Amino acid sequence: MSEEQLRKNVYAALKALQDSLRNYKLGTGSPPDFLVNGAAPIIPQELLTGCRVFSRRNDIIADLPKGGVGVEVGTQTGRFARTLMDLAKPQKLYLLDIDYTPFRKEYVAKELEAGTVVTREGSSWELLEEFEDEYFDFAYIDAGHGYEMVKKDLLASLKKVKKGGYIVCNDFLIWSAFEGVPYGVHKAVSETIADNNLRVSHFAFHPYGYNDIAFVNS
């Protein structure tokens, strides 16, 4: 199928979605907010004081304290694990994923051999529970993007990251335009920050809006 036809298919599907969303609102009087698990709480302004804003997520990683123990929750190819090693320079980095099919060992081959990068396979929040409390200096959360999954990863991370440590969340948005899929990250992260009174330390933009946010555990 040509690129032009594929593009037409996307626009046709988008039009059908837009019509059904409009009909839902006309029929019920409310926006279809079930799609995004309802509204996120407002993050109180005082928790944003001092938040540093960056143009790329790598700048957040470069700003993390060096020499700690980190965890990438959802690693996929391992390419970003390389970035975490190069910029955060942890003494040890754990990678958690439910599926290592796309993983390319060559990104962190030397570190895997040396034992400074360790892979664990399984469900992210269950794997996190296997570590001692307050074990990590930072967690990079980027596994399942549905609301319930992110909540479970965040709940586990609050226990497993040290007080004063950093929790960085990728894909801080409500809707993934490239997949047509709701993301629960925005609501789950906003709730976690607001409910636990956590200080937002960093925010980084992404060219397609898949932004990152980081906060300090306390």
Ligand X SMILES: C[S@@+](CC[C@H](N)C(=O)[O-])C[C@H]1O[C@@H](n2cnc3c(N)ncnc32)[C@H](O)[C@@H]1O
Task: Single out the residue of 40, 128, 142, 187 in contact with ligand X (rule: CB under 6 A).
Answer: 142
Q: How far is the CB of 89 from ligand X (least distance, A)?
A: 18
φ/ψ region of 171 (left if φ > 0, alpha if ψ in -120 to 50, else beta) reads left
Closer CB to ligand X, residue 97 or residue 191?
97
Smallest separation, CB 213 to ligand X (Å): 14
SS (H, E, C) the chain: CCHHHHHHHHHHHHHHHHHHHHHHHHHHCCCCHHHHCCCCCCCCHHHHCCCEEECCHHHHHHCCCCCCEEEEECCCCCHHHHHHHHHHCCCEEEEEECCCCCCCHHHHHHHHHHCCEEEEECCHHHHHHCCCCCCEEEEEECCCCCHHHHHHHHHHHHHHEEEEEEEEECCCCCEECCCCEECCHHHHHHHHHHHHCCEEEEEECCCCCCCEEEEECC
For the bound state, the minimum distance from the C-beta of residue 143 to ligand X, rounded and expressed in Å, comes to 4
Instruction: Please report whether residue 64 would count as binding ligand X according to CB under 6 A.
Output: no
- Considering only 37, 119, 124, 201, the residue that binds ligand X (CB under 6 A) is 124
Nearer to ligand X by C-beta: 16 or 98?
98
Q: Smallest distance from the beta carbon of 168 to ligand X, in angstroms?
A: 10
* Residue from 143, 150, 185, 188 binding ligand X (CB under 6 A): 143
43 vs 93, beta carbon nearer ligand X: 93
C-beta closer to ligand X: residue 43 or 149: 149
Tell whether residue 123 is a contact of ligand X (CB under 6 A).
yes
Q: Which span (28-36, 92-100, 176-184, 208-216) binds ligand X, by CB under 6 A?
A: 92-100
State the residues that interact with ligand X by CB under 6 A.
72, 74-76, 79-80, 96-99, 123-124, 142-144, 149, 170
